[in-house]
Structure 1
Amino acid sequence: MPHNTTTPQSSTEAIVSHPPVDGERQWRLEQIAIGRPAEYEAVVEIVASGICHTDLGCGTAPDGTPGFPVPPYPRVLGHEGAGIVREVGSRVSKVQPGDKVLLSFAFCTQCHNCQFGAPGYCSQFSPINFTGNKEAFATIKESKPIGGSFFGQSSFSRLTKVQEVSMVKVNNLITNDEEFKLFAPLGCGIQTGAGTVTQLAKATADDTIAVIGLGGVGLSAIMAAKLQGCRTIIGIDRVPERIELAKSLGATHGINTAKMAGSLTEEVRKLTKEVGTTITIDATGVVPLIQQGVEFTANQGQVVLLGVAPMDAGLQVQVVPFMVTGKKLLGSMEGGVYPEEYIPQMIRWYQSGRFPVDRLVKFYKVGDYQQAIRDMEDGSTIKPVLLW
């Protein structure tokens, strides 16, 4: 079987992030060069790519910003891709040219967490996923390096080199091309929200769950809570339309933080007969909301952190009072799942009518990426997906 189907260096269209000016992102759709895959890489032709808030943060932060260990500008981001394998490296074994793949994060495969836990907690997660490869692409004329391999994939490029561990083959799971495009964002935000509920927190019908922040991650958690049969599901946000969407996806109650009479803790306790929630998920990274989440969680309940807070943020936890409650404070990376198992599971849930991810997604042509970002930032679109 031939491994190589592209020329030694190909030209491709990509959204390239340049250094921000006065805090404003400088993204441009450009022609750039891409070389041959390394031995454990494949060249994938991207069909659709989701936009995530992590892309926006890493494409706006100045070089050297703490918490953003990305390569120097220019760089190609994107980490929620769906595409077709066009070429494989010499040691790639799980895919071949022509395979349809969904893309997720990368991991080392060798550390304790990769071998015995969840690869989202890989000891090398940050350098592998954020730093990636500083020379993944190049400019056409000067052959100056352009960073890539963001989360093992850099799916904001029509052709991109993808790490073997980041690919999930879905040939036998996809029923049509429209489904394939729809599933592009499964490998990050949606799996993070859903996996946190089903795999990490292991929610059951006996649980009362609150989700703070109803973006793509939070709404995926709401859908997963309904799928698990949780008896009470509380969606918390400040945007009325998102609260209504959460209710249509399975939330039994909604709290609008912009219109509360009392504190969030008081509102949640009213809805739970003063007991509190057994599972509390924060998808905002807003410290005062997280602090109240810790407060309103029931004794022996779990508080799971998904939202990205400022790097120097901290919580106030009085050790002995917290200890005697038996509460757990957890961090969730990628939902604590193994993508090669969990992405097919989400696809099956969708196809059985139990996980309506289509309610979250809106498609845009890649040339309209700026409008897609504006719609995401103003809240009119939950999960924009770019079509190549």
Structure 2
Amino acid sequence: LYVEMLEAGFSRVGEFHYLHHDRDGKSYANLAEMAERIAAAAGETGIGLTLLPVFYAHSSFGGAAPNQGQRRFINDVDRFSRLVEKCRESVRALNQAVVGVAPHSLRAATPEELIEVTALAPDGPIHIHIAEQVKEVEDCLAWSGARPVEFLLGHAKVDKRWCLIHATHMTDAETVAMARSGAIAGLCPITEANLGDGTFAAPLFREHGGRYGVGSDSNVLIGLPDELRQLEYSQRLAHRARNVLAVAGGSTGRALFDAALDGGSVALGAGISQIAAGASADLVSLDPQNPSLAGKSGDAILDAWIFANGGKVDCVWVHGLKQVSGGRHVKREAIAERFRSVMTALSA
């Protein structure tokens, strides 16, 4: 996965990590066994890592008991607190790694647990799945009398450290309030389309200063231009308009790319998202020999990459080190062979 992300042009992953325990639901001897495997994968591939251990304790709103299928996710606050500390130890050797927390959702954490869990990351990013599907909204209303985003904004100190994943089903009032809170919208356009979840209220959110980043939830397809293209096209279909997220008179590709880079960097605690002194040297170049880019310059290159599959990623540098060359990760063959062996053994 991390090799594919780098080859697609992603230089950092926000790992929403909630597979914590063994198959029977019991903790591994090393509580951070799975987190250490994530850190090892990030270290070997060279991708930047924001590790977001997920707190998951309940199957539905109001503290409902978890079901058997969730047994590998479940922690109480005490054990989760120890896990967060272990996660910090796991990434200590990585360059510019970040650890935050991720209360999975308002379904999986009670309001009291939400307060305790978010306190474990006083300076780090906080990610939460919210308002992804209509049933979630209906269940939250039945439980609390409020919609998910409405409830969260009224019961937590939401600011720019928060990333609200999906946030698909909001009223206009919720959308404006979320934008004004400074929280980042963590959009997964391909996943949301694949699951038929709905379309984010992007124009209203942006109008009120909201920021967003893009990524994948289901990993059904790993593609940076694909996510940005799906985001814009979903808005065009919803609003029956063109160039919905563009700045008037400007390039739609540039607007999408810059907005996602800005919001994504904030959501992952990654620092400055530009080529500047003191910023991380995370760079992507496209293949200049691709015929689709012939005669193009400036923002027209971004437009071609995002909307016409024009050009392919050629090289990727993370923290100044080249990890992708000629469109292929420098360790692709060795990692792919190990992956094939493991997957073959697991499916036997």
> TM over 0.5, yes or no?
no
Give TM-score scaled by structure 1 length.
0.26
Give TM-score scaled by structure 2 length.
0.28
Which structure: greater strand fraction?
1
